[in-house]
C-alpha cells in the first residue's frame, strides 16, 4: 500500500510545544495551533487554603514526583479541554529544545506512555524544525522566550551545539525592569501582578534606537524629547502612569553596556565566532528570530544596528569578517513558528520512522537526546 494512503488513514498527530510561560497545541499539518494557553497547573493546596492565585507555573516544581503529577494534570487539561480527543493510541509530536533538562523529557515521556497510553512520541528540536517553515537548511536561530535568550547555529540541517550561547535576557528580565521603575515612581506593588506587568509591556513598551538609548544612559534622557506618557487602568482599581522613559527603556535590559559583554548582540556574534570560518557568512546572512519576546516593535532594527556597530569595535574587527546581517521573515508569528515546524514534521513519514514507540519504551525507558542518541532504537534486531 502506498505511503500516502496509510498516512491519510492515520489520525493526525497531536503537536505540543510546552514553553516556560505558554504552551502551543494543535494537530500536525495545520498552519496554526488550536490554542495557546499558559503553562500553569492548579495548586490544590493553595486553592483549598483560599488563596486568590492558586495557579503554579508548570516548571516551578520542587521534586521529581511533583513534576510528574503536574505534567499528568497539565496534559489531561490539554487533551480533554482543548484538543478534545482521547490520547489513547494517538501519535504525539513534542517540540522541545535540545537544552531542555533530561528529567523533564523523561517525566513527560513517562506521563504520555504510562498514564495516557499514546502509541508513539516524536521529539523534535525547536531550533531545527524552525527552518522547515522557511525551507532553508542553514540559519542562526535566536530564540527569546520568557526565561532566557538562546542562540543556536544550524548549518546544513545540523545544530552546531558547540557554539550555542544563552543569557537570561528575555521577558522575565523586562518584567522585572518594568516593575522596578513603576515601584520607584510610587505605584503600589500590590497592583503589579504578573499579568498586569505583561499587559503594560505588550500595550505600551517598545525597543528604542541605539542613539536614543545611548543618550538615556549618558544623561538620563534630559536632552531628548520623550515619547508620550500613557495612563493604564489596572483592573479598574487605579490608574498607573506609564512614563515615556519607561516605555523606551524597559527593553534596555537586553542590551546592557558593561564589562561582561553578555548582551543580546554579543551572544549572537560570539555564537558566529565559535563556528568555523566557512560557516560565518552564511549564518550572518540567515538570522531567524523566534519566541514571543521578539514580537516587540523595534527589536529587529535595534539588533541589526547593534550588530553592525559591534563589528567595527576592536573586539570583533580583526576576528569576525562579516559585512552584513540579514533576517528571515517566517510565514508565522514568531511565538508559534517552532510549533509550525513541528506541525510540518508531524505531517511527514518521519513521525512513523523516527518516533519512540510504546513497545520500544516498555523495553528501554531512556529517552535519547543529543548526548546519547540511538539511531536504531525503534528498529527490530536482525540476525
Band (9; pLDDT cuts 50, 70, 90): low
Provide the 10 A C-beta neighbour count for residue 309.
11
Q: For the chain, what percent of residues have pLDDT higher than 70?
A: 91
- Nearest in space to 261 (alpha carbons), one of 205, 206, 306: 306
pTM score above 0.85: yes
pLDDT digits (tens, 9 = 90+) for 192-209: 889 999 999 999 999 999
**CATH 1.10.540.10: does it fit domain 171-254?**
no
In the chain, residues under CATH classification 3.90.640.10 are 171-254
In the chain, residues under CATH classification 3.30.420.40 are 14-126+335-363, 132-168+261-328
Cell, residue 121: 512520541
List the CATH code of the domain at 14-126+335-363: 3.30.420.40
CATH architecture of 132-168+261-328: 2-Layer Sandwich (3.30)
Own/partner pairs for 320-323, CB < 8 Å, 24+ apart? 320/269, 320/272, 320/273, 320/280, 321/280, 322/272, 322/280, 322/281, 322/284
- Nearest in space to 122 (alpha carbons), one of 13, 30, 12: 13
The lowest-confidence range among 193-207, 289-303, 354-368 is 354-368
Q: Give me the pLDDT at residue 49, please.
A: 57
Amino acid at each position: 500500500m502506498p505511503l500516502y494512503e496509510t498516512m491519510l488513514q492515520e489520525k493526525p498527530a497531536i503537536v505540543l510545544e510546552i514553553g516556560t510561560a505558554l504552551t502551543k497545541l494543535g494537530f500536525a499539518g495545520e498552519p496554526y495551533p488550536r490554542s495557546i494557553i499558559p503553562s500553569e497547573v492548579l495548586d490544590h493546596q493553595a486553592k483549598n487554603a483560599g488563596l486568590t492565585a492558586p495557579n503554579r507555573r508548570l516548571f516551578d516544581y520542587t521534586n521529581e514526583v511533583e513534576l510528574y503529577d503536574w505534567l499528568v494534570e497539565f496534559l489531561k487539561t490539554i487533551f480533554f479541554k482543548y484538543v478534545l480527543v482521547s490520547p489513547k493510541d494517538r501519535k504525539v509530536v513534542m517540540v522541545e529544545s535540545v537544552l531542555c533538562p533530561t528529567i523533564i523529557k523523561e517525566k513527560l515521556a513517562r506521563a504520555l506512555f504510562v498514564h495516557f497510553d499514546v502509541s508513539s512520541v516524536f521529539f523534535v528540536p525547536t531550533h531545527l524544525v524552525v527552518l522547515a517553515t522557511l525551507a532553508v537548511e542553514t540559519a542562526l536561530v535566536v530564540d527569546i522566550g520568557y526565561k532566557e535568550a538562546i542562540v543556536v547555529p544550524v548549518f546544513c540541517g545540523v545544530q552546531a551545539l558547540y557554539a550555542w550561547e544563552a543569557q537570561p535576557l528575555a521577558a522575565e528580565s523586562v518584567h522585572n525592569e518594568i516593575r522596578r521603575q513603576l515601584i520607584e515612581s510610587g505605584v503600589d506593588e500590590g497592583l503589579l501582578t504578573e499579568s498586569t506587568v505583561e499587559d503594560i509591556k505588550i500595550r505600551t513598551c517598545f525597543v528604542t534606537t541605539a542613539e536614543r538609548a545611548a543618550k538615556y544612559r549618558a544623561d538620563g534622557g534630559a536632552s531628548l524629547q520623550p515619547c508620550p506618557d500613557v495612563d493604564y487602568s489596572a483592573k479598574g482599581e487605579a490608574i498607573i502612569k506609564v512614563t515615556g522613559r519607561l516605555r523606551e527603556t524597559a527593553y534596555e535590559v537586553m542590551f546592557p553596556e558593561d564589562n561582561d559583554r553578555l548582551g543580546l548582540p554579543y551572544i549572537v556574534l560570539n555564537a558566529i565566532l565559535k563556528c568555523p570560518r566557512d560557516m560565518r557568512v552564511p549564518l550572518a546572512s540567515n538570522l531567524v528570530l523566534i519566541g514571543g519576546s521578539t514580537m516587540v516593535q523595534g527589536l529587529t532594527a535595534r539588533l541589526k544596528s547593534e550588530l553592525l556597530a559591534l563589528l567595527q569595535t576592536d573586539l570583533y574587527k580583526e576576528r569576525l569578517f562579516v559585512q552584513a546581517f540579514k533576517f528571515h521573515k517566517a510565514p508565522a508569528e514568531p511565538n508559534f513558528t517552532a510549533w509550525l515546524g513541528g506541525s510540518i514534521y508531524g505531517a511527514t513519514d518521519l513521525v512513523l520512522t523516527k518516533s519512540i514507540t510504546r513497545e520500544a519504551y516498555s523495553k528501554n525507558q531512556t529517552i535519547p537526546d543529543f548526548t546519547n542518541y540511538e539511531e536504531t532504537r525503534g528498529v527490530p534486531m536482525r540476525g
